[in-house]
Amino acid sequence: MACTWGSPARGEEAGAPHDNQTMKTSPPAVQDNPFTTVLELSQSMLRDVVGALGRIQRVNQTIHLLSLNARVEAARAAEAGRGFAVVADALTGLSAETGQTVQQLEASSRRTASELGEVARRLSQEVQDERLCDLARNAIDLVDRNLYERSCDVRWWATDSALVDAAASPTPERCAHAARRLGQILDSYTVYADLLLCDLQGRVLANGRPQQWPDSVGQDMARSTWFRSALAKRSGDEFGFESVHPQPLIGGERALVYACTVRAGGQVHGQPLGVLGIVFRWDALGPQVLRALPLSTQEWAQTRAVIVDDGGRVLADAQDERIGQHLEFAGRRTLLKAGRGTLDAAVDDVPMRICHARSQGFETYATGWHALLLRRMP
């Protein structure tokens, strides 16, 4: 599929979602590249030197013509012009030496300017690579820090007494009370689309937004990745997870779901009674973090920003329509194994400089995902 370029959509103010549990980090500021200035100055200096040498060469040509005229006149004057002949010979020698010196100086200046330009270009590339890798690291770290809070939320809320009571004895009254409790949580945590309480068979007992999603109660979540992964955990200290996917219970919106077992007495080692799933709005975090990267309009025209998993599946992109695609390029696996690094490779037949940073994690949580900035090469 062909790769398209351009600035990210600006329909909303770019940035990560925030609530009272979200940790925010300022991205590195855009910096001027001094080596680009050095390259421009070296080229300007070379033009000045070549111009000056050209003027010297023209003066030297005039001197050479004068020496030729002096020889002609000395020959006409015979014995009386012998002194002029000596001067003419000296001028001819000086002219030849000056011309040779000018040629050597021009060649030396061009060689020095070329070497200086190559050094400046190499250093400029290194500075640019370092900056883009830093921006990638900042983006994936911000995602990790934010999602760490999600992993804490689900383990904490799974101990809520209203949820424990409803899971232990799902009477209409207790399920309604659990739904009200989930709704109160959602009023404070707007980054969530919904909260779901399921029994051990995967049937949804209550959700936090029954007015918005009235069909959720009674739905069977037994085959859902998040539900099965939560049931497989040995205690309430652990959580289940389902990566970026269209979530049918919220109208197909892209979501992450974190899940934890609800246990007897709200104890982490109590008997499992049910599962709490918290549905996080992914598009409010991943793509927004990428859109907030401090790149100029010119840089955005040449750069694609993505978050991918280990298999190269695009989880977030500054352009929404590319989410869900697979990013393929030669050397991808090797690059993603490293903590950070750069690689030249073709993506959709476009030569790219790819700058990468892998998730380092925050506290006890790490997505294991990767942020990539792909810069189109000239």
Residue 27 has pLDDT above 50, yes or no: no
3-state secondary structure 256-276: EEEEEEEEHHHCCCCCEEEEE
Per-residue tokens: 50: 């070549």
Q: Which residue has the tokens 């001028």?
A: 91
Residue 30 has pLDDT above 60, yes or no: no
Residue 29 has pLDDT above 80, yes or no: no
Quick one: what percent of the chain has pLDDT higher than 90?
Answer: 63
3-class DSSP state of 274:
strand
pLDDT at 54 over 60: yes
Least confident piece of the model among 66-70, 202-206, 277-281:
66-70
* Backbone angles phi and psi of 67, in degrees to 5: -65, -35
Confidence at 58, pLDDT banded by 50, 70, 90: confident
pLDDT, position 41: 66
Q: How many CB atoms lie within 10 A of CB 19?
A: 13
Candidate CATH numbers 1.10.600.10, 3.40.1030.10, 3.30.450.20, 3.30.360.10; the one for domain 286-376: 3.30.450.20
User: Could you say which DSSP state residue 202 is in?
Assistant: S
Residues 263-321 have pLDDT tens digits of 999 999 999 999 999 999 999 999 999 999 999 999 999 999 999 999 999 999 988 88
Question: Do the Cβ atoms of 259 and 222 come closer than 8 Å?
Answer: no
Q: What is the DSSP string of 110-165?
A: HHHHHHHHHHHHHHHHHHHHHHHHHHHHHHHHHHHHHHHHHHHHHHHHTT-HHHHH
Q: Thinking of the domain 34-123, which architecture would CATH place it in?
A: Orthogonal Bundle (1.10)
List % helix, strand, coil for the chain (3-state, nearest 5).
Answer: 50, 20, 30
Q: What is the mean pLDDT of the chain?
A: 85
Burial of 198 (0-12, 13-18, 19+ CB in 10 A): buried
CA 168 to chain CA centroid, nearest Å: 46
Tokens encoding 17 = 């979602």
* pLDDT over 50 at 181, yes or no: yes
- The fold of 158-283 is Beta-Lactamase (3.30.450)
Examine the pLDDT at 202 and tell me if it is beyond 50: yes
CA distance 19 to 189: 6
Domain ranges of the chain: 34-123, 158-283, 286-376
**Phi, psi at 4, each rounded to 5°:** -105, 160
pTM tops 0.85, yes or no: no
Two domains, one topology: 34-123 and 286-376: no
